[in-house]
Structure 1
Amino acid sequence: MKIGIGSDHNGYAFKESIKEFLKDTEHEMIDYGCHSCNAVDYPDVAFEVSQAIRAGELNRGILICGTGIGVCIAANKYPGIRAALAHDTYSAERAQLSNNAQIITMGAQIIGIEIGKKVVEAFLNVSWANGSKRKVDKIIENEKKFLNQSCEEVAAGNHCS
């Protein structure tokens, strides 16, 4: 499986530990940054990983920031992307099994690295088998409605009729 991994500066050390953990697996990993502890904006990294998934360049993604919330919100702004915040193995499994999430997000300031490794392992070791397909299809259909709106309408919070 081809995996994109990325973080902001708050998640840099955590990301590096996850990369080391995955180094000897069968997964191919691409690091989308950041590449040091210098400050970066988490949306930039989340958008890069999300775009690569949409383009078919990656199968799944792992995003890390201080809480995992910021990268989750940013990734979910990309059409077609389902990112899930996962700080435990059950949530990581369900993100994939029930929701066909392509990305999990984690907070480096929330969970320890050993739990983070188990979360990643749980996410990567399961595959969607049309778990909650009807529900996922509803999410996709609703998203399509908003893709037809202008940026101004979306920013104003207007809904499609």
Structure 2
Amino acid sequence: MTDTLANPTPLRIAIGGDHAGFPLKKMIVERFGNVADSLVDCGTASEASCDYPDFAIAVAKELLSGRADKGVIVCGSGVGVSVAANKIAGIRAAICHDTYSAHQGVEHDDMNVLCIGGRVIGPELAFEIVAAFLNAKYTPEDRHARRLEKVIAIEKNGI
């Protein structure tokens, strides 16, 4: 069921999006706001033109401060928010428009921000993708941990 979170651990979600993502973000908030332990809406509050990096930053701040466990950011395509979010140390964001990538990104890569395109997918698929992301847990098998350590080293040291 897409509006149920199977994760027994308390889950705090931060969500944000620009004007192009606003309609879908609003539907996600309505769908998951009552099943998460907390859901912080980082804006925007309308379809008035605004800039997607602002919402990537707002969601990232919630995660990095420890006030949220996972983040969801919605823009028109999902590309802009993914690019912006991945510039922030400690954020591992990816565009996912299918359920497999949404849960596998968490399980193998410790993805902490889901990026989706409000102009790319419809609400029912988005609900399934968000549920797959929120229900997934990182599985620190040796190969996953080794690869994540390399990603963190790139983030820290550059190339």
Offset at 1:23? Answer: 2.6
Deviations 1:18-49 (A, max 9, x none): 01110331431000000011111000110111
Deviations 1:96-121 (A, max 9, x none): 00110110000011111100000000
Q: How many residues align?
A: 147
Conserved? CA contact 1:62–1:105, under 8 Å: yes
Q: Are residues 1:119 and 2:119 paired?
A: no
- Aligned ranges for residues 81-92 of structure 1 at < 5 Å? 81-92=91-102
Q: Are residues 1:50 and 2:64 paired?
A: no
- Structure 1: runs of 5 or more not aligned: 147-158
Paired amino acid for 2:152: I
Deviations 1:83-135 (A, max 9, x none): 01110100100110011011000001111110000000000111112141110
Alpha-carbon distance between aligned partners in 2 of 1:24 and 1:144, rounded to the nearest angstrom? 37
- Structure-2 residue corresponding to 1:74: 84
Identical-residue share of aligned pairs (%): 37
- Aligned ranges for residues 32-51 of structure 1 at < 5 Å? 32-51=42-61
Superposition RMSD in Å: 1.0
- Structure 2: runs of 5 or more not aligned: 1-10
Alpha-carbon distance between aligned partners in 2 of 1:24 and 1:56, rounded to the nearest angstrom? 20
- Structure-1 residue corresponding to 2:119: 109
Offset at 1:72? Answer: 0.4
Conserved? CA contact 1:51–1:78, under 8 Å: no
Alpha-carbon distance between aligned partners in 2 of 1:27 and 1:112, rounded to the nearest angstrom? 25
- Structure-1 residue corresponding to 2:150: 138
Paired amino acid for 1:140: I
Alpha-carbon distance between aligned partners in 1 of 2:124 and 2:52, rounded to the nearest angstrom? 23
Alpha-carbon distance between aligned partners in 2 of 1:137 and 1:50, rounded to the nearest angstrom? 20
